[in-house]
Amino acid sequence: MDLNVSICEIKFVGSFGGSMKDKIEVLKALADETRLSIIDMLSCGEMCVFDIMSKLDLTQPTISHHLKVLQRAGLVDYKKNGKWRIYFIENAVFNDISEFLKYISTSKEDCICNSSESLCLNEITKSVQ
């Protein structure tokens, strides 16, 4: 593996798709307390902005901003019902990011750490002998 390649350009194979950059966008979207609260609320079922507003005590523009970030990351989507947008969770993206996190946190043969020897472990081994 060429270590000069930006980690954001690395594409992972497996049943989860997208680039590292896509995964970073999802994780950034999840790294906010309000957005996590919205996800938690939507886990119970579809909701419109005003239902979310009433439970979080935030303004409509604030809720809309957070929903837009979540939608851009692919975590939520909406359907039109008359003048209302009804938001819901995109489960496939949650499954994808869960699988990805499990993949990067599990030892594997093609891991970047296997591309060179460990300087620290070599020193420890020498000092023990």
Q: Over range 87-100, report the average pLDDT.
A: 93
SS (H, E, C) the chain: CCCCCCHHHCECCCCCCCEHHHHHHHHHHHCCHHHHHHHHHHCCCCEEHHHHHHHHCCCHHHHHHHHHHHHHCCCEEEEEECCEEEEEECHHHHHHHHHHHHHHCCCCCCCHHHHCCCHHHHHHHHHHC
With vertex at residue 93, the alpha carbon angle to CA 30 and CA 80, rounded to the nearest 5 degrees, is 90
Look at 19-28, 33-42, 67-76 and tell me which has the smallest mean pLDDT: 19-28
Answer yes or no: is pLDDT of 104 > 50.
yes
**Predicted local confidence at residue 74, as pLDDT:** 94
**Predicted local confidence at residue 34, as pLDDT:** 97
Give the residue with greater pLDDT, 82 vs 113: 82
Arithmetic mean of pLDDT over the chain: 82
What's the CATH code, domain 7-128?
1.10.10.10
Q: Model's pTM, two decimal places?
A: 0.74
Answer yes or no: is pLDDT of 16 > 90.
no
**Domain definitions of the chain by residue range:** 7-128
Question: pLDDT band at residue 105, thresholds of 50, 70 and 90?
Answer: confident
